[in-house]
Chains A and B, each alone.
Chain A
Amino acid sequence: MRSFSLNTVLLVTGLVSVILACFLGSTDLSIGEIAKVFIGSGSHENTLIILEVRLPRALAGFATGAALGMSGAALQGLLRNPLAEPGILGVSSVSVLFSTLVLYFGIGTTSSLLLPISAIAGALLATAFLTLAAIFTRSVVTLILIGVGITSFSGALMSLVLNFAPNPFTLADLVNWTLGSVANRSLTDLAYALPFILSGMGLLLWSARGLSALTLGEEAAHAVGLNLAQQRLFVIIGAGLATGGSVALAGAIGFVGIVTPHVLRPFVRHDPAQVLLPSALAGGTLVVLADIFIRLLPTYSELKLGVVAALIGAPAFIWIAAQRRGGPNT
């Protein structure tokens, strides 16, 4: 009941933030004009502005944040560690690397089907590798360390790619991509990425119950009736699909998956299963609001979303980590 009303509040906040985002842009539109567009009687120009520019950007932000928020919460439940996020298992970094390669070799542009496919292929490659590792090891720590290794390795490959960028233009393009942004997204981009994000999130919600059992530790979770291997597989594939889809939409945006579940846990009695949906809703809202904030800032060139997320998220990450000193499972 409690988490039901929490979800309602978060859903409404999310909707409001998406609508707010529709007001923002170089053309001033009144509430009436925007409302007309949504009921289908707006002017052609206004409809174009809302449906082709502002709404896709807001929805892309929401989808990205929702995917990252839920993936983070699910990985934290699986690894029983509040510092886990899609990044820690190397899923984001391999996904970014793959999409960068597509841009680098000029096979695709930021608005073609090839980009989401490669981002998701990267995420799934990382998750498949981790799944294999998860089958052969019982230890969560080992799994985290493998993830750290994957992150470092794909980071090195990324540097290599940037190092050999043929011209300044390509370099700028690649750097832009790795910084993370939801500017200039189309409904087509959304349509390519959403099925992956939604199926990933569906898989995570479906296997959420096992995360509660994992609170007791793996041995006791097995004892109360949890299929550990299957639980790991579902969370890894679910988080892989959702994260891959989010990278395809927005590039690398960090820390949403850490901060959101951390803030929400007290509201769901710290139940790792019940924190999933609120984390998705709040993560989506957070990214939309951050994107609005970026557009309001009077900077010469627009700040990148990933940069702002890291500027806020990294100190929060350190704070959460420092708080854990001396606690259980450190």
Chain B
Amino acid sequence: MTLRLSAKNLSVNARKEPLLSSVSLDLAPNKLTCLIGPNGAGKTTLLRALTGFRPADEGDVFLNEKPLSSLSIPERARLISYLPQSRSLAWPLRVRDAVALGRFAYGGQTSAMNPRDKDAIDQALIACELTQLSDRRTDTLSGGELSRVHLARALCSQAPILIADEPLAALDPRQQLQTLGLVRNFVETGGTACLVLHDLALAARHADQLIWMKSGQILHHDATETTLTPDIIRAVFDVESEVSDRSVIILGPCL
């Protein structure tokens, strides 16, 4: 199943301050979209509005043509998987049990999963190279391993849409590439992915689409090739840069 996620005129206010003002976007299947912008641009707020954790005050989110608000919470969870920034687990679960929580919306008990759930969990463990670690306590894992646990949790829900908030934060370059490879795989099998990335160079190299955000607004939303220009980088991040093909070098702050 492929699914298009779109938003029309989303606005979110906190204490009358606008966090998002009239944001519209369109996330297509088979595309890896990266959401980039400076701190405080409203990226996390936008993701929370897209996943319904903090519904927008105005505007609507649509899955294909269906409004997100018309879905029940478990229905929504089976269509959109979401990785928030926070990765800490309250209790030191075993890796397999933590990944199994991705099947929560299908209704099984963690202790008694049906074969379909088990299959999905096994596949996610294999994809994220966690099979060896499946019986380890999550509080004994490295940061990279823990982030793979969360990704496996998201993948085993088999939702056609994956949204992740800084999934590469605090990962070494190899782990970053491994994670991006998994997301790329997901996208190529019909998935719709949207990642918030802080590393402009990584986003430029790996994204099919870039959404440039600043001050609660989307400034540009288009294919990476068309929007990756020094002018746009200056307008969004306030830095001078050199762009050749898909590589970006940041030269320094704008004077």
Which residues of A are at the interface with B, using a C-beta cutoff of 8 A? 1-3, 80-81, 209, 212-217, 219-220, 222-227, 265, 269-274, 327-329
Q: By the criterion CB–CB under 8 Å, are A219 and B84 in contact?
A: yes
Provide a sorted-by-A list of 7 A–B residue pairs whose CB atoms are within 8 angstroms.
A213-B101, A216-B101, A216-B153, A217-B84, A217-B89, A225-B105, A328-B88
Given A216-B101, A219-B53, A224-B102, also A270-B93 (CB < 8 A) = yes
Q: By the criterion CB–CB under 8 Å, are B77 and A224 in contact?
A: yes
Given A220-B84, A222-B53, A222-B73, also A328-B89 (CB < 8 A) = yes
B228 to chain A, nearest CB (A): 30
Docked pose: A1 CA to B74 CA in angstroms: 27
Q: By the criterion CB–CB under 8 Å, are B53 and A272 in contact?
A: no
Q: By the criterion CB–CB under 8 Å, are A220 and B82 in contact?
A: yes
Q: By the criterion CB–CB under 8 Å, are A224 and B88 in contact?
A: no
Most interface-central of A216, A226, A265, A269 (chain B CB within 10 A): A216
A224's contact among B48, B101, B109, B111, by CB below 8 Å, is which? B101
Chain A residues near B110: list those with CB within 8 A.
209, 212, 271, 273-274
Task: Return the chain B residue nearest A216 by Cβ.
Answer: B101
Task: Return the chain B residue nearest A4 by Cβ.
Answer: B111
- Number of CB contacts from chain A to chain B under 8 A: 98
Docked pose: A76 CA to B93 CA in angstroms: 15
- The 8 A-B residue pairs with the shortest CB-CB distance in the complex, in nearest-first order: A225-B105, A225-B77, A80-B90, A223-B82, A328-B88, A219-B84, A224-B104, A225-B74
Which residues of B are at the interface with A, using a C-beta cutoff of 8 A? 48, 51-53, 73-74, 76-78, 80-84, 86, 88-94, 97-98, 101-102, 104-105, 109-111, 137, 139, 150, 153, 157
Q: By the criterion CB–CB under 8 Å, are B111 and A274 in contact?
A: yes
Docked pose: A329 CA to B139 CA in angstroms: 12
Docked pose: A328 CA to B139 CA in angstroms: 9
Q: By the criterion CB–CB under 8 Å, are A217 and B90 in contact?
A: yes
B91's contact among A222, A225, A226, A265, by CB below 8 Å, is which? A265
Docked pose: A224 CA to B81 CA in angstroms: 7
Docked pose: A147 CA to B3 CA in angstroms: 44
Chain A residues near B52: list those with CB within 8 A.
222
Beyond the given pairs A215-B89, A216-B153, A265-B91, 17 more chain A to chain B contacts, judged by CB atoms under 8 angstroms and listed by A's residue number, are A2-B111, A3-B111, A209-B109, A212-B104, A215-B101, A216-B90, A220-B83, A220-B84, A222-B73, A223-B80, A223-B82, A225-B73, A269-B97, A270-B92, A271-B110, A274-B111, A328-B139
Docked pose: A34 CA to B153 CA in angstroms: 55
Q: By the criterion CB–CB under 8 Å, are B90 and A225 in contact?
A: no
Q: By the criterion CB–CB under 8 Å, are A214 and B90 in contact?
A: yes
Q: By the criterion CB–CB under 8 Å, are A219 and B86 in contact?
A: yes
A143 to chain B, nearest CB (A): 15
Q: By the criterion CB–CB under 8 Å, are B90 and A223 in contact?
A: no
Q: By the criterion CB–CB under 8 Å, are A216 and B89 in contact?
A: yes
Chain B residues near A3: list those with CB within 8 A.
111
Docked pose: A2 CA to B97 CA in angstroms: 14
B123 to chain A, nearest CB (A): 17
A260 to chain B, nearest CB (A): 16
A271's contact among B76, B93, B157, by CB below 8 Å, is which? B93
B93 to chain A, nearest CB (A): 6
Docked pose: A269 CA to B90 CA in angstroms: 13
Q: By the criterion CB–CB under 8 Å, are B93 and A220 in contact?
A: no
Chain B residues near A327: list those with CB within 8 A.
139
B84 to chain A, nearest CB (A): 4
A74 to chain B, nearest CB (A): 14
A83 to chain B, nearest CB (A): 12
Docked pose: A220 CA to B86 CA in angstroms: 8
Docked pose: A214 CA to B104 CA in angstroms: 11
Docked pose: A223 CA to B53 CA in angstroms: 8
Docked pose: A294 CA to B109 CA in angstroms: 41
B140 to chain A, nearest CB (A): 12
A100 to chain B, nearest CB (A): 35
Task: Return the chain A residue nearest B96 by Cβ.
Answer: A269
Chain B residues near A227: list those with CB within 8 A.
73
Chain A residues near B153: list those with CB within 8 A.
216, 220, 224
Q: By the criterion CB–CB under 8 Å, are B157 and A270 in contact?
A: no
A18 to chain B, nearest CB (A): 28
Chain B residues near A225: list those with CB within 8 A.
73-74, 76-78, 104-105
Chain B residues near A81: list those with CB within 8 A.
90
A200 to chain B, nearest CB (A): 22
